[in-house]
Amino acid sequence: MRSNGEIDKIDLKILDRLEADARTDLKDIAKECSLTPSAIVKRIKKLKANKIIVGTHLDLKRGVLGYPQEATIGITAENSRVDQIALKVRAIPNVMVCAKSIGRYNLFAHVFARDLPELDNVTHLIKNIEGIRAITINIHVDDSVLDLGEKTNPEREHKIDETDLKIIEELLNNAQIPFARIAKSLGISHETVRSRYEKLRKDAIIKKCSVLIDRSKTGYQGTAFFLISCSKDQSKQSTYRVLKELHLFYSLDLVIGGVFDIYGAALVKDLKDLGALTNRLEKIPQIENLEASILFFTYYSYIPKPLVPYKCDSIELS
């Protein structure tokens, strides 16, 4: 990082590596950057001091903590009352985030629930907020639901126990916490923590440990949400695979419940960048139709806990 606080190419490389895996060995990053590990540590401290790295995040298999139902809800609300309506939506315990957007919807909400009846209750509560004219719900589903990957053998599925859950909770609070500290906290060996973590990663219970980055300080202005419907002669599976291989989205999910088949989220630098991405997607033959909305924040963090409401943290989303 330069003396004036601006980040350079080395900082961006460090950020990309830690976003991909917050537990990456700093010696490996140092080798890639042709620097010493102490120089990398110094740069990371500056990135944190300048609130470019704002925390950590644990990406888990859906449902691990008791909330298997996830949905994105597009909300059309009265423009004159949109801020007040957003606050009311956020007050619903199962709503992780509700933010203003530009596009077909002027609000987007991200919701988690224990089961479909609870999800239905959440959507009912949202629909009955005065000033909301319409909502569109898209329920996220795992790849395995549509047989996109290898079929899992129930007998080989990882059954997490109390120790696994405690390790996960420690990592939820800090994805970079040393294994030795977790071991001391739980009263187990360092090697037990390491082996269990590796097993959780191998079985995709823990999908990724990453640092949270305020990308507005690295040239991005917002997050684009895309709702995509497949061409009539294309399956969800094939279209999903095509989009995944293009690496255009930081989040990509299959969805059901509405007119769309796929949900994608991508960081964008400006409206020109959004237009270029939209234009590229429109040229993909497997895509029949798409809708894009832009939300003017580049990250949000949340702290999920087993069977308690999600808590949004670290950023003002209005």
pLDDT digits (tens, 9 = 90+) for 133-158: 999 999 998 766 555 444 545 555 66
- Residue 122 scores a pLDDT above 70: yes
What does the alpha-carbon distance between residue 302 and residue 311 come to, in Å, rounded to a whole number?
A: 6
pLDDT of amino acid 232: 87
What does the alpha-carbon distance between residue 92 and residue 70 come to, in Å, rounded to a whole number?
A: 15
What does the alpha-carbon distance between residue 273 and residue 251 come to, in Å, rounded to a whole number?
A: 18
Mean pLDDT value across residues 245-255: 93
pLDDT of amino acid 302: 62
pLDDT of amino acid 88: 95
Tell me the percentage of the chain whose pLDDT exceeds 90: 72
pLDDT of amino acid 5: 64
pLDDT band at residue 318 using 50, 70 and 90 as cut-offs: very low
Ordered structural domains, the chain, with CATH: 9-50 (1.10.10.10), 69-146+216-303 (3.30.70.920), 158-202 (1.10.10.10)
First vs last Cα of the chain: how many Å apart?
A: 30
Each residue's pLDDT tens digit, 165-186: 999 999 999 999 999 999 999 9
- Residue 63 scores a pLDDT above 50: yes
pLDDT of amino acid 257: 82
pLDDT band at residue 93 using 50, 70 and 90 as cut-offs: confident
3-state secondary structure labels for all residues of the chain: CCCCCCCCHHHHHHHHHHHHCCCCCHHHHHHHHCCCHHHHHHHHHHHHHCCCEEEEEEEECCCCCCCCEEEEEEEEECHHHHHHHHHHHHCCCCEEEEEECECCCCEEEEEEECCHHHHHHHHHHHHCCCCEEEEEEEEEECHHHHCCCCCCCHHHCCCCCHHHHHHHHHHHHCCCCCHHHHHHHHCCCHHHHHHHHHHHHHCCCEEEEEEEECHHHHCCCEEEEEEEEECCCCCHHHHHHHHHHHCCCCEEEEEECCCCCEEEEEEECCHHHHHHHHHHHHCCCCEEEEEEEEECCCCCEEECCCCCCCEEECCCCC
Each residue's pLDDT tens digit, 210-224: 999 999 999 999 999
What does the alpha-carbon distance between residue 40 and residue 27 come to, in Å, rounded to a whole number?
A: 9
Asked whether 221 and 268 are in contact (CB, 8 A), the reply is yes
pLDDT of amino acid 287: 95
pTM for the model? 0.82
Q: Indicate the average pLDDT of the chain.
A: 88
Mean pLDDT value across residues 190-201: 97
Give the residue with greater pLDDT, 234 vs 127. Answer: 127
Name the maximum alpha-carbon separation found in the chain: 58
Sheet strand arrangement including 69-77: 95-100, 107-113, 69-77, 132-141, 251-256, 262-268, 222-230, 287-295
pLDDT of amino acid 144: 60
pLDDT of amino acid 305: 56
Two tokens, residue 222: 């917002």
- Residue 308 scores a pLDDT above 60: no
Tell me which residue of 245, 225, 221 sits closest to 97, measured CA to CA.
Answer: 225
Mean pLDDT value across residues 101-118: 91
Mean pLDDT value across residues 270-293: 94
pLDDT of amino acid 244: 93
pLDDT of amino acid 96: 86
